[in-house]
Chain A
C-alpha cells in the first residue's frame, strides 16, 4: 500500500475482509471474472450466490491465494495476495475447501488419516489433534466411518470430510465453495449447526461461502449476487429483498438477473401424471441387494416404476442410492435379487437396452480433453443417431441446456453447474425412453435447475419418458410423482410426496424426511446425539487454538514430515506397488545379469570351399573347432552366400579360392575371403577379431608343421590380463552396472507420478492453499520413495553378493552412502520431470525416455564416458548414473575406498541440491 494513503482509507481496509479492484480473469477464451470491484466485510458470514456459477469459484480461489492474479488487485486480511510474502503469512489463517466432491482429499487414506494429515500440517500436538478430530467427526456424523477410505465414501460424505479438513486449524477466514451441494438435508442441518457453533466460539472468524440453496443463503449476514462474471448486487438478504421489492430471496435473485435471463425464467408447473400402468413396468426391482465384502450397501430394495413416471430417490449420504442405480444400469452385478428394465432382466452386455436408457453418474465422467461440442457429437455417434440428424440434435441440446456460448471450450474450464448441464445434455442426446440420473442437479444454480425440471416434466408427460432421479433438493423431490426414502441400504418409505408429509403430519417434505431419518437412526443406535450446548462448550474459544507463530516461516520440518507421513501411508496402502518395485528390481537384475552377455559365442558360419583339398578342410576345421563358431551346411555358390547372409542365417561366410592348397605350396600369394554380417557392428567387430586371430594361429601352426623350425614362431607374445574380472565373464561386469540402472528408473518414475497424480486428481490444491512451501511439499513427498529405493538397494546388493557371488571388495559403507545420494538424485530427477508434465501418461513416458537412454547408453555402462561423442557425451558427463556407476564398480570390482572415489562423489553431492532447486523453481505454488 502506498505510504500516502489516507489513514481513514487504511482503517476501512483493515475492517474489510477482502478488497478486490478491477479483477479480471480468463481461461483462454472463457471470461470468468469481468473487472470485479468488491469489498467484503469481515467477521460475518458472506454468501455468494451465482446463477450460472461463472466466476464464483475463480473469485474464491483468488481470495484464497490458490490462483495467480491476472489483472487487478486482490487484498485479503490486510495485504496484497500478489505478494508471496503476504500470502505465506496469511496462508495459515485461511482455510479453503474447493468445489467438487472431495477433490482435495486422498482417496486411499482413511477418514481419520485425512483429517489427521491436515492437523499435522497445521502443527497441532497429538492430544489436541485427537481431540479436534474426534469432535469434528462426531459433529459431522463421520465418526462411525473413521476407518473407511475416503475414496469409498459417498459424495455427500466426502463433502463433510472436506469440511472437517478445513476446520481443523481454527482459521480466521473460512472459504467454502458449495459445501452443502450433494449433502442430504439432515446432514446439511447439522452442518449449519456446526458452523454456527464454531462461529459462536470464534466470533472474529469470517466465512466466505457459496451455496445453491436459497433458503440457506437467506440465513447469511451479507450476500453477493453474481452473474456472468460480474457482481449484480450486494447487501444483506433483507436489503436485497427490499431493493427488488420481493418477499423471497429466490424471487429477489431472479429480479436482479439481466432482463434476457429473467424473461426466460418460468416457474415450474407439474401437471398431474396421466393414467399410468400399461402392463409392462419401465423399471422393476425385486429384493435387490449389494454386498461389498461384509458391508451391505443395498439391502433388499424393491420398487416398481411405471412408464412415464418421475420417480425420486431421496436419502442420506451413503445410503446406497448410487449403488442401486448402478445395478439398474448393469454396471454392477447385483449380489441378490433381480432388476428388470422394460420387462427384460438387466444384462451387462445388453446393448439394445442401453440405447434406450440415458444414464448420468454422480461424479463428472465426461472427457475433459474433448470440447463440449466434441463430447456431444461423440455420444450422439456412439448412440447411433443418423449422421444427418447429429448437427441438429447437438444444436438443440446446446440451446436447451444453454451451452451455446461454450461449445468450443473444454469442460474443465466450465463452472460445475455448467458441467452438470453438459452431462445431462449428453445423457439425453439420443432421446432415451428412460433416464437414470444420479443427483443431476447438484451444483446447478436454481434458474438452470428449474429449466432442467421443466424439460424433464415435458419429457415425462409428453413423450412418456420414464425418469428415475436422485436428489437432495426437497423442492425437486416434491415435483416427483412418487419418491422413495432410503437410509442405510433400505427403503424407509415409498409414496407420493404429499402422502408422505401427511403420514408424518408435517407440512414440508424436508421435515418429513428428517422425521423418517431420525426414527431410523434412533432405532439403529439408541445413542442420544450430543447436545448442542455440550459440543459448543467443548469447542475452545480459540484459546488452545492457533498453531505456533513459527509456522509461517520458509521451512518447517513438521509440515515436511506430515507430507512424508501421508505419502508413506499411501504407499503403505498399496502393497502391490511396493512389492512390484522390489520384486521388479530383483527380477530385472536377474534378467540383465544373465541375459546381457558380451561373450560372443556360437556364431553361425558357412564355407564356400572352391578348393575341396585337405588343406582347405583343415583351415575350416580350425574355425569350426573353436567355441566361437558353429558350422552350417556349406555354401553352394556366390548367390547362396549372399542369400544366407541376407537372411541373417549366418554371421560369417568364408570363401576359399580354387587352387588354395596348390598355390600355398608353390608360395604364390593366396587370399581367403571372409564376409561378415555388418548389420550389428559390435558383433561384427568381435567376429573380425576372432577370424583374424584364428587365421594367424592357423598360419603359425602350418608353418610349424611344414618347416618344423622354431624360427617361424611368433616374434613376441602379448599377455593380456583382464583386471578386476580375470575370467572375462559378463556377470561381474554387469552386476555393478545394473544396480545404478535400476535405482534410477523405478524411483524416478514413482516420484514423478506421485506429484503429477496430485495434479491430475486435484489434491494439488492443498499445496496452493495450505502454508506448506514447495520445498517442504517436494522433499516431504520424496522421502518415502528414498526409503523405498534404499530398501531396493539393500536387496539388490544382497542379491549381488549371495546369488551372483560378487563380494563387495571395497567399503560397503562408501557404496551405501553413494547409493543414498544417488537415489535422492534419482527421485529429485523424477520430481523435476513431474514439475513440467501435467498428465500421468506424459510423466510416465517422459521419465522413461529421460532415464532409460541416458542411464543405459550415456553413463559408461558399455563404453567409458570419456570415449563418448556428441550430445550423449555431454549428458553422460553430468548424469548421476555415470558417477554412481564409477563408485559401484570401484567398490564391487576394484576394492576401492572413499579416498579413491571422492572425485565421483562431488558430482553426486552437487546433483542433489541442483535437481531439488530446479524442481522447486519449476513447480508452481499457485494455479494459473
Chain B
C-alpha cells in the first residue's frame, strides 16, 4: 500500500462530499438540531403525566392526595366520575386514573387498610411504569403524613438515603443527547462509505479506478479514512458545542479519550459500510440493508434499554457489534469519568471487531470489484 495514493484518493473523497451542499447541511442538522431536539424532548424524569382522579371519598385525606399531584411530574389532575374513566382512558387522554373509594379516610383511620385503585394505561410504556411507582410513593407518603397527625408511628425508623451517582438529578437530556450523538456517528459512518461506494459503481468510476495503478486496499483505506475523518470532525464539534455547550452536560472524563474511542468505532463502522456497499447491488437495496443493520445496532446496543435486561442470547450476539462496546465506553467516559484503565476492554474489543470487519470487507471488496466494471 502506498500512503501517497491513499492520501490523494482520500482528498478526492472529501472533495466529492464538499460538492454536495445538501448533504453537508444534513450532516450539520443531524449533529446539531437533531441531537438537541432528541435530548430536550424529555427534560424531566417523569413529566406532565396526564392523570384523572375519581374522588368518591371527598374527604380531607382524598383532597390531600389530589393536591399532592402537580406539575412538572403530573399534569394538574382532572376530577372525573367513574363513568367517564373508561372512555377517557380508551381515548388516550389519561395515562393514569386514580379511584379513591368512598369511606377511604374513615377506613384508614380505623386501620382497615382500604385499597385505592390505580388504573394505568400500560401501552404508554416507560411513563406508565415509572409513573405508577411515583404515584405509589406519593400516595403512601400522603397517607402516612396524614396519619402522623393522628397517632405516633411505631414503625422502626430506618431511612433510606438514595443518591444517584454521575447524574444526581437523573437528567434525561444528558443521556439522550450523548446517546443520540452515538447513534448518529454510526449512521453517518455507514451511509458515507457504503453509499459512496455504490455511487461510484453506478457512475462507472470504479471501473476507471481499476484501470489505474491503485490496489483495492488503497481504495478502501482511503474511503474508510476520509469518511471517518468527516464523522470524527462532526462528532467533535457536536460534543463540544451541542452536548457540552447547549445542553450543558458536564463531561466527567477525558474528551480526548472518548474521541480516540470514537475513531476506533469509526474504523469498524466505516468498514461495515463498505461491506454493505459490496453486498447491495443498487442504492435502494443499500437503503433497506442499512436500516436492517442500523436499527438493531442502535436498539440492542444498550443505548435505549439496559443490556442486562435483554435476553441472554441477544446480549451474547450483540457482543459482536461495535455499537455495544462504543455505547459502553461512551457512558463510562462521558458520565462516569472512567479512564483508560477502566475502558481498555472496550477499546480492545473495538480494535478486534474493526480489524475483522475491515478484513472481511476488503475480501468482499476485492471479489465484488471485479463484477462492478
Contacts and interface: CB of A to CB of B under 8 A. Distances in A.
B26 interface: yes
A633 to B, nearest CB: 17
A84 interface: no
B154 interface: yes
Given A646-B338, A684-B170, 11 more contacts: A591-B296, A595-B296, A647-B338, A675-B164, A681-B175, A688-B133, A716-B104, A840-B198, A841-B192, A846-B26, A870-B40
B290 interface: yes
A845 B311 contact: no
A715 B139 CA distance: 11
Contacts of A597: 305, 309-310
Contact of B91 (A601, A844, A875, A903): A903
A50 B26 CA distance: 41
A861 B128 CA distance: 12
Contacts of A754: 284
Nearest to A359: B211
Interface stretch (A74-82, A514-522, A575-583): A575-583
Contact of B22 (A326, A364, A837): A837
A672 B156 CA distance: 13
B162 A367 contact: no
A842 B213 contact: no
Nearest to B160: A695
A667 B157 contact: yes
Given A719-B117, A720-B132, A869-B47, A857 B305 contact: no
A676 B165 contact: yes
B129 A678 contact: no
Interface in A749-779: 749-750, 753-754, 757, 760-761
Contact of A845 (B30, B126, B167, B332): B30
A393 to B, nearest CB: 15
Interface stretch (A29-37, A375-383, A441-449): A375-383
Given A331-B373, A720-B136, A845 B90 contact: no
B114 A710 contact: no
B212 A382 contact: yes
Contacts of A598: 125-126, 129, 305
A352 B213 CA distance: 7
A846 B126 contact: no
Given A369-B16, A646-B332, A718-B118, A591 B300 contact: yes
Given A359-B211, A721-B120, A836-B22, A366 B205 contact: yes
A365 B205 contact: yes
B256 interface: no
A652 to B, nearest CB: 10
A751 to B, nearest CB: 10
A720 B118 contact: yes
B146 to A, nearest CB: 8
A616 B191 CA distance: 55
A636 interface: no
22 contacts: A352-B213, A357-B211, A378-B11, A378-B12, A382-B214, A646-B337, A664-B156, A664-B158, A667-B157, A679-B332, A688-B170, A689-B133, A692-B133, A696-B140, A703-B155, A717-B113, A717-B116, A718-B118, A728-B122, A746-B291, A837-B26, A845-B23
A354 interface: yes
Nearest to B144: A715
B285 A686 contact: no
A662 interface: no
Main secondary structure of the interface of A (DSSP, over half): helix
B270 interface: no
A862 B125 contact: yes
Interface string B283-314: 11111111110111001100011101111001
Interface string B159-183: 1111111111011101110001000
Contacts of B159: 669-672
Given A702-B156, A839-B199, A867 B285 contact: no
Nearest to B19: A369
A927 interface: no
A270 interface: no
A724 interface: yes
Nearest to A863: B127
A871 B33 contact: yes
A723 B124 CA distance: 10
Interface stretch (B2-10, B257-265, B354-362): B2-10
B21 to A, nearest CB: 9
Nearest to B50: A866
Contacts of B289: 580, 584
Contacts of B292: 580, 584, 587-588
A741 to B, nearest CB: 9
B86 to A, nearest CB: 9
A853 interface: yes
Contacts of A695: 158, 160
Contact of B38 (A696, A732, A736, A853): A853
Interface in B24-42: 26-27, 29-30, 33-34, 36-38, 40-42
Interface stretch (A86-94, A399-407, A547-555, A892-900): A892-900
Interface residues of B, number: 151
B160 A603 contact: no
Nearest to A722: B122
A715 to B, nearest CB: 5
B82 interface: no
B127 A864 contact: yes
B27 to A, nearest CB: 7
Nearest to B74: A867
A712 interface: yes
Contact of A863 (B15, B19, B47): B47
Contacts of A189: none
B30 A746 contact: no
B273 to A, nearest CB: 11
Nearest to A871: B37
B69 to A, nearest CB: 14
Contacts of B79: none
A196 interface: no
Nearest to A655: B161
Contact of B170 (A332, A681, A702, A749): A681
Contacts of A595: 296, 299-300, 310-311, 314
A594 B310 CA distance: 8
Interface in A872-898: 872-873, 875-876, 886, 889-890, 893-894, 896
A872 B41 contact: yes
Given A718-B115, A723-B120, A599 B154 contact: no
Contacts of A357: 211
A676 B204 contact: no
Contacts of A367: 12, 16, 205
A646 B336 contact: yes
Contacts of B212: 354, 379, 382-383
Contact of B143 (A715, A836, A858, A876): A715
A473 B215 CA distance: 36
A745 interface: yes
B68 interface: no
Contacts of B29: 849
Contacts of B36: 871
B175 A679 contact: yes
Contacts of B213: 351-352, 354-355, 382-384
A683 B306 contact: yes
A673 B75 CA distance: 32
Contact of B26 (A726, A842, A861): A842
B119 to A, nearest CB: 5
